[in-house]
Structure 1
């Protein structure tokens, strides 16, 4: 998936633009930031250097992290079937 948006210049996008282009909610982006899945300076930054400034997202870096997270092996994501199967 390659992200492109008409009228946007540069790799940084507002939360609303990122939501639409990445296909996830703004709340999900916030949860990923708080869980450190998205790292400050690499995946997101503040528009201005103050705590209540809007957040901007680096679309390519966010997309890459999303792809890496979804490409994990099924055995890492699913519970161990042998551990939950009754002994027989």
Structure 2
């Protein structure tokens, strides 16, 4: 995976944090999906699978904390990089 010609490796993954916009403390599902560049259905699926932590407020409102989203991104990126390293071996 490349980001504008910049190879994504374990040593330069933190570069993404510097260019990322400041997130609010909590995001709703559409905001999370927009930030990740995915459909809302994927966000709901990741929450149901337990890979993305969410807080349920009331009967229907879900919120994802900034920390939970950052952890999800780090976990998914680490898994992707390990998978790529495994294929290269």
Q: TM-score, normalised by structure 1?
A: 0.58
Task: Compare relative contact order (CA 8 Å, sep 6+) and give the higher one, 1 or 2.
Answer: 1
Aligned residues: 68
Equivalent of 1:44, from 39, 43, 54?
Answer: 54
- Whose strand proportion is higher, 1 or 2? 2
CA distance in 2, matches of 1:54, 1:12: 12
- Whose helix proportion is higher, 1 or 2? 2
User: Structure 2 stretches of 5 or more lacking a match?
Assistant: 1-16
Q: TM-score, normalised by structure 2?
A: 0.57
Query: 1:86: which partner in 2?
Result: none
- Deviating above 6 A after TM superposition, structure 1's stretches of 4 or more consecutive aligned residues are none
CA RMSD of aligned residues (A): 2.5
User: Structure 1 stretches of 5 or more lacking a match?
Assistant: 82-88
